[in-house]
Copies of this chain bind each other. A is one copy, B any other.
Amino acid sequence: MKTDQPTPRRQPSAPADSPASGGGVGTPAFSPLYQQIKALILQSLQAGEWKPGDLIPSEQELAARFKVSQGTVRKAIDELAADNLLVRRQGKGTFVATHHEQHVQYRFLRLHPDHGDRDAEGPATRDILACRRVRASAEVAAALQLRAGDSVVQVSRVLSFQGVPTILEDLWLPGAAFKGLTLEVLTAYAGPMYALFESQFGVRMVRAEERLKAVAASEAAAQRLQVAAGTPLLSVERLAYTYNGVPMELRRGLYRTDRHHYRNELG
C-alpha cells in the first residue's frame, strides 16, 4: 500500500521568471535537494518508521519513493552515516544505528585504562545505588529544558573496573519520557544503559556534550570510590541529545584517574 509520500522539490519549482522569489525578506536560504531528503529520512527515524537496528529501504527504493536520483539519496545517507545515525554495510544494506552492538559499546565513554585496552580490562561492574523520581532542581530543569519542579528520574550508580570502583555518577531523565524506569528494570538489564533507553523507551541518544573539570573528592564521593577525601577526580558533566537536538539526559560523573585516563581526539 503506497502511502502518500511528500515529494520534495527544490524552491517551489522556480516559476518561470520570478526574479526576487515572492514574499521572502533577503536570501530565501537555498536548501539543496539532498538536504530535504535527509530531513525526510530523519523524520522517518524520529517517527519510528525504522527502529534502531532495522534495515532501511535500499537507495534505489528511496530514490523512487522521493522521485530523485540515487546519487541524491546517496548524499543524504552519506551525511546521516557521518552523523552516526545510519550505518552502511556493503552488500547488505543501510541500517539504523543502535547502542545494541558489541563492538561499539560505550560509544560515549571516553575513559580508558592507562595500560592495555578496554577489551583486555573486561566489562564494567555496575551497581545501581538509587533510582527515584524527584522534582527537577532549577539547574536540572534548565539543562533538560523543563520547568523547575517537573518530574525527573534520578539514577545514581557506580561503575567498577576489575573490582576497583572508578566512576560514580548521577543522571537525570525527563520523567514523562521514562515512565516505567525503576531500580528493578535497571538492575535486571545487562547491556549498556543507552541500549535500554532505546528498546524500552524509544529514546535514542545521538549526540552529547561534555564539560570536564578537576575537583577534590567530597567525603561521600571518596567513600563510594574508595579513595581519600580530597583526592583529585575528573568531573564529567554530560548533556545527551536525541534526534533534533532535544536534550534527554543530564549526567554528572566523577572519574578516578589513577589507573585510567580520558581520551580525546583532536581533528
A interface residue numbers (CB < 8 A to B) = 83-84, 107-108, 110, 207-216, 230, 232-235, 238, 255, 257, 261-267
Contact = CB atoms under 8 A, between A and B. Distances in A.
Nearest to A257: B213
Main secondary structure of the interface of A (DSSP, over half): strand
Contacts of A83: 267
Contacts of A232: 214-216, 232-233
A234 B211 CA distance: 12
Contacts of A210: 263-266
A30 to B, nearest CB: 12
Contacts of A108: 266
A80 to B, nearest CB: 12
A223 B257 CA distance: 23
Nearest to A266: B208
23 contacts: A84-B267, A107-B266, A108-B266, A207-B265, A207-B267, A208-B265, A208-B266, A209-B264, A209-B265, A209-B266, A210-B264, A210-B265, A211-B264, A212-B212, A212-B263, A213-B234, A213-B257, A214-B214, A214-B233, A214-B257, A216-B232, A232-B233, A264-B264
B234 A214 contact: yes
Contact of A212 (B207, B264, B267): B264
Nearest to A238: B266
Q: 5 closest A-B pairs (Cβ-Cβ)?
A: A232-B232, A214-B232, A213-B257, A214-B214, A212-B262
Contacts of A207: 265-267
Contact of A261 (B208, B212, B238): B212
- The residue among A208, A210, A232, A255 with the most chain B CB atoms within 10 A of its own CB is A232
Contacts of A234: 212-214, 234
Nearest to A78: B78
